[in-house]
């Protein structure tokens, strides 16, 4: 399997994964042209994408979904309670309904959506198994659940939100109502909360994790340096982790030397 983080952060998010003849995307908050450019930069071909998975309806995840779906005739996998109209004014190619807690299968891809706690209706995270390679994506959630811990422990890769630094948020220019929203149970995970999640996942029983990508950094309330500093204060585990710079494309790890690859 190979993958890339095409963009991550409070402005735009898009992830791409590929194994043999199956390619899929999770979210697309990029313009179609920027998405195409970043795909080609890493050797992915937009015309070969089988699915677009949608976590929720905020623009930094949804902005480029409609045009990408129409242009390349890609089905959008989204929560069953999302009306097709909310995914774009001109319409997507096709919508495939899913619900949390149910496992789905297409050729050598299996996936299970799970509920996240965010101020966007029916927001989801996803646990994937692509030809047996397992990985989980958890972003845009104000709290973590036992279900998230379970999927993370069973994954070889984890994409985990580290959205804000509490200090930067408290001292920043946002109005009190927005600060409260970000730090609430329906907002985002802080750097410390991400670090505590990592500690719990990797220290409480068997864990398959080989690497953790910390992602979805806030534009105004976080920096790569702050993530490194504040996560390291609470996580001293042995699983390696990296921080995805906001808005930048990041090539995935070389998995060819990893176990079972």
- Spell out the domain ranges in the chain: 2-251
* Residue 61: both structure tokens together: 């995840």
pLDDT given at position 86:
94
Q: Which helix (H) or strand (E) holds 112?
A: strand 109-115
Q: Are 29 and 13 in contact (CB under 8 A)?
A: yes
Using the predicted structure, report yes or no on whether residue 119 has a pLDDT greater than 50. Answer: yes
Q: How far apart are CA 32 and CA 52, in angstroms?
A: 13
* Residue 203: both structure tokens together: 């220290």
CATH 3.40.50.20 fits 2-251, yes or no: no
Q: Are 109 and 162 in contact (CB under 8 A)?
A: no
Q: For residue 184, what is the DSSP state?
A: S
Q: Which helix (H) or strand (E) holds 24?
A: strand 22-28
Whose CA is closest to 200, among 256, 130, 125, 149? 149
Q: Are 51 and 18 in contact (CB under 8 A)?
A: no
What pTM, to 2 d.p., does this model score? 0.96
pLDDT tens profile 162-173: 999 999 999 999
Percent of the chain past pLDDT 70, that is, above it, reads: 98
pLDDT tens profile 50-97: 999 999 999 999 999 999 999 999 999 999 999 999 999 899 999 999
Burial class (CB in 10 A: 0-12, 13-18, 19+), 192: middle
What is the average pLDDT across 17-36?
97
């Amino acid at each position: 399997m190979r993958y890339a983080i095409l963009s991550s952060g409070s402005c735009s998010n898009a992830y791409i994964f590929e194994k043999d003849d199956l390619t899929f995307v999770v979210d697309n908050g990029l313009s179609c042209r920027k998405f195409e450019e970043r795909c080609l930069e890493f050797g992915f071909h937009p015309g070969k994408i089988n699915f677009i998975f949608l976590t929720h309806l905020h623009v930094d995840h949804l902005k480029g979904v409609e045009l990408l779906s129409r242009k390349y005739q890609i089905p959008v996998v989204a929560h069953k309670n999302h009306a097709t109209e909310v995914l774009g004014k001109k319409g997507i190619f096709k919508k495939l309904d899913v619900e949390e807690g149910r496992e789905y299968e297409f050729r050598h891809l299996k996936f299970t959506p799970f509920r996240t706690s965010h101020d966007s209706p029916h927001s989801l995270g996803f646990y994937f198994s692509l030809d047996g390679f397992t990985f989980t994506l958890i972003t845009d959630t104000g709290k973590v659940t036992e279900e998230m811990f379970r999927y993370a422990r069973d994954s070889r890769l984890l994409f985990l939100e580290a959205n804000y630094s509490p200090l930067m948020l408290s001292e920043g220019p946002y109005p009190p109502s927005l600060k409260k929203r970000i730090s609430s149970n329906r907002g985002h995970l802080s750097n410390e909360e991400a670090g505590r999640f990592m500690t719990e996942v990797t220290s409480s029983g068997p864990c398959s994790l080989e690497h953790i990508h910390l992602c979805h950094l806030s534009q105004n309330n976080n920096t790569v340096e702050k993530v490194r500093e504040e996560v390291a204060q609470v996580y001293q585990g042995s699983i390696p982790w990296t921080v995805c710079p906001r808005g930048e494309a990041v090539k995935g790890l070389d998995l060819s030397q990893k176990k079972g690859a």
